């Protein structure tokens, strides 16, 4: 892996190489990405007072009491979803009574808000619409494992809101609508049309929710969205090694997934006369081969290299040397990433064996066995490459591979200073978290954005609140939580974004990635 580094060290005098590395590091640390801060100042509008902050927190807490669980594909709590609809109507009366806002219930349970701008003439000066996305459903909870509060109690304790959906993703639903209601309270008139789309089954597929929202938009003549912003990465605190500043991560793509079945068919028999190999034994060797032979690193073929380049100026000096010189040291960084499953997942297609089935009686050798394997596919990888790798490392024709489910990685959306949609989101983040550093990344988890790939080339992901080592475990885990202050900034971000997106300069998009600047 490090042969490139070795060859360069052989051919280039060491002293010259050290000087080159140092100069490159100094240049990187002096460089700051100048996101466009020529945006509307959020403070120009009346500020949210403390009493209103508490009221907004209580509205979110109420939403967390509604058990909108998605159990599996096509199995979700329909009555709870309708209860949440009513809670939104009660909480945001201006939105639901405004003559300029159209609310449609899509496929029974999803919601699509159309905010009609006052500049809809068909001319070159009109910006195309954009969409803010989130989802109404939540994942199930394990019984008896929450320690601070019950998962659907919606309690506020010492300035912290607890409940399933506090981070994923009812804070987005409520935060977006709080921002819109706030702007309507202040008599703001939108020039630009935009949409707010809330799917109801993101946690199990998104087919029935976001899929139908996309279908509805196309059927009503919407063929292009300027950009779509959904949940995703967070503003990370103490989660990026070597960086003390907040790191605001904007997802520009997300991994695909493939669920495969490995199966072996052999002759059954009695356990008293076992053959030299059994279906279970052959399958076990195949599973071991997959787990001990990971898919190849794709470092540098997705946004992961730019992630480290973007944060290099804020990193501690040792990390900065590494991150600033990836033209030379990328093999070394890739090797370091591979030491931890969390960081290794950034750079390659992952493999997880999730289900194994085999015998049915203690004294019978089964004639068949199977295993379910889940892959999260790197954007530079493909299903054919994944299957070919699996066949090669298993190296046993008795193991059959069948595709059960598959969805490809989403295309990598353009990012960088000259991509106005990305710049718009980045500058809005910087207005709320001015000391944070912006970085693009690939999301390892799937979102509803995969349903909107035909409507926009600019699909971005960020949940605009601070995530810490403590709160990270609550996502799909126990004691999910968000502080009132962080939720306040959540809302402020969407206020800033809506105002910034309403400016003419927000609409001039390019299609270049950062490395092409």
Phi, psi at 78, each rounded to 5°: -70, -40
Nearest residue to 480 (alpha-carbon basis) of 471, 489, 488: 471
C-alpha of 254 from chain center: 7
DSSP β-ladder status, 459-467 and 228-236: parallel
The whole-angstrom separation of Cα 129 and Cα 226 is 6
> Any idea of the CA torsion for 34, 40, 46, 47, to the nearest 10 degrees?
-20
Quote the CA–CA distance of 107 and 64 in Å, as a whole number: 23
Query: Which DSSP string do the residues of 383-434 spell out, in sequence order?
Result: HHHHHHHHHHHH--TTSEEEEEEEEPPPPPPP-STT-HHHHHHHHHHHHHST
Structure tokens at 38: 């020529």
Is-cis flag, bond preceding 201, omega within 30? no
With 0-12 CB in 10 A as exposed, 13-18 as middle and 19+ as buried, what is 358? middle
In the DSSP assignment, the letter for residue 243 is B
Residue from 77, 137, 168, 306 carrying the catalytic annotation: 137
261 bridge partner residues: 372, 402
Listing DSSP states for 167-206 in one string gives TTTHHHHHHHHHHHHHHHHTT---SS-EEEEEES-TTTTS
Q: Is 137 a catalytic residue?
A: yes
Alpha carbon separation from 72 to 204, 270, 395 (Å, rounded): 5, 38, 34
From 169, 202, 381, 480, active-site residue: 202
The answer to whether residue 306 is catalytic is: no
The residues assigned a catalytic role are 137, 202
């Amino acid at each position: 892996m490090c042969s490139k580094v070795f060859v360069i060290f052989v051919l280039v005098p060491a002293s010259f190489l050290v000087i080159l590395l140092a100069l490159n590091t100094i240049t990187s640390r002096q460089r700051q990405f100048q996101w466009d801060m020529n945006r509307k100042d959020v403070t120009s509008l009346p500020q949210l007072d403390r009493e209103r902050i508490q009221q907004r927190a209580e509205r979110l807490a109420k939403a967390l009491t509604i058990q909108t669980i998605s159990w599996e594909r096509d199995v979700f709590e329909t009555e709870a979803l309708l209860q949440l609809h009513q809670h939104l109507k009660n909480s945001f009366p201006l939105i639901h009574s405004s003559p300029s806002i159209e609310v449609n219930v899509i496929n029974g349970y999803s919601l699509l808000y159309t905010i009609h701008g006052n500049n809809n003439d068909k001319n070159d000066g009109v910006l195309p619409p954009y969409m803010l996305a989130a989802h109404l459903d939540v994942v199930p909870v394990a019984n008896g494992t929450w320690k601070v509060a019950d998962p659907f109690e919606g309690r506020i304790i010492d300035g912290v809101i607890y409940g399933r959906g506090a981070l994923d993703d009812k804070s987005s639903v409520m935060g977006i609508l709080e921002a819109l209601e706030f702007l309507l309270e202040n008599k703001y008139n939108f020039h630009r049309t935009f949409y707010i789309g809330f799917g109801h089954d993101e946690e199990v597929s998104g087919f029935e929710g976001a899929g139908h929202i996309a279908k509805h938009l196309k059927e009503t003549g919407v063929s292009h969205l300027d950009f779509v912003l959904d949940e995703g990465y967070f503003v990370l605190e103490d989660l990026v090694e070597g960086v003390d500043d907040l790191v605001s991560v904007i997802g520009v793509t997300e991994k695909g997934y493939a669920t495969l079945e490995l199966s072996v068919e052999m002759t059954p028999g009695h356990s008293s006369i076992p053959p030299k190999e059994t279906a279970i034994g052959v399958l076990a060797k195949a599973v071991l081969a997959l787990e001990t032979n990971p898919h190849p690193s794709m470092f540098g073929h997705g946004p992961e290299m730019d992630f480290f380049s973007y944060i290099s100026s804020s990193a501690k000096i040792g990390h900065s040397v590494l991150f600033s010189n990836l033209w030379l040291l990328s093999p070394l960084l890739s090797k370091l990433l591979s030491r931890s499953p969390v960081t290794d997942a950034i750079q390659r297609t992952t493999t997880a064996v999730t289900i194994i089935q085999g015998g049915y009686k203690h004294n019978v050798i089964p004639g068949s066995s199977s295993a379910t394997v889940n892959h999260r596919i790197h954007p530079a990888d493909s299903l054919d490459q994944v299957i070919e790798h699996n066949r090669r490392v298993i190296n046993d024709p008795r193991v059959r591979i069948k595709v059960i489910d598959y969805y490809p990685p989403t295309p990598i959306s353009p990012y960088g200073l000259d991509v106005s949609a990305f710049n718009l989101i980045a500058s809005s983040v910087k207005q709320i978290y001015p000391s944070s550093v912006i970085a693009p990344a690939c999301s390892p988890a799937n979102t509803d954005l995969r349903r909107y790939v035909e409507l926009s080339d600019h699909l971005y992901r960020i949940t605009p609140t601070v995530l810490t080592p403590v709160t990270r475990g609550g996502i799909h885990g126990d004691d999910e939580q968000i502080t009132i202050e962080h939720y306040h900034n959540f809302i402020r971000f969407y206020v800033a974004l809506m105002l910034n997106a309403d400016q003419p300069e927000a609409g001039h998009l390019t299609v270049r990635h950062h490395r092409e600047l």
